Structure 1
Amino acid sequence: MLKELLNDDRGDVPGWVLVTIMTAGLVVGLWAVAGPRLAALFTAAMDAVVGQL
């Protein structure tokens, strides 16, 4: 009984590894596309705040 329970989870680790790698790849891809735009947006917002002081 215990041996059967231990053998049932053998396929879960590669699936979770794949999901993690795919998520990391998606984040890196989105960051590469949106990063410069977000940096420009942040700089413009900080310039507006600093300009009001």
Structure 2
Amino acid sequence: MTLMARHGIALVRALGLGIGRAAASIGQHRRGDTLGRDHGERGDVPGWVMITLMSAVLVAALLALAGPALEAMFNQAMDTVGK
């Protein structure tokens, strides 16, 4: 496993732990904030935050796994154009 892949996996694990903690604190905040009040038009902001963070983790994981192959393809294409 390359160094870049190891760093990518470590980043994904760290982000995963952070997402879990953030989701727990958001859930606690929402439960405490909605007591006794009606927020029908409020929307689902924590859900969108979670989707955004999960998308960022997915992109980081794909980049970590496919980075060397993409770099090799790019370099090969540039060499072909340069000739």
Q: Once the 2 structures are TM-superposed, how far is the Cα of residue 41 of structure 1 from its aligned partner?
A: 0.2
Match of 1:32 in 2: 64
Q: Which gives a bigger RCO, structure 1 or 2 (Cα 8 Å, sep 6+)?
A: 2
Which runs of 4 or more aligned residues in structure 1 lie more than 6 Å from their structure 2 counterparts after TM superposition? none
Deviation at 1:16, TM superposition (A): 0.5
- Normalised to the residue count of structure 2, the TM-score between the two structures is 0.50
Provide the residue aligned with 1:14 in structure 2.
Answer: 46
Q: 25, 38, 41: which is aligned to 2:73?
A: 41
- Deviation at 1:50? 0.8
Show structure 1 runs of 5+ residues with no match: none
Tell me the TM-score normalized by structure 1. 0.74
Deviations 1:29-53 (A, max 9, x none): 00111111111001001111112xx
RMSD: 1.7
Between structure 1 and structure 2, the one with the greater Rg is 1
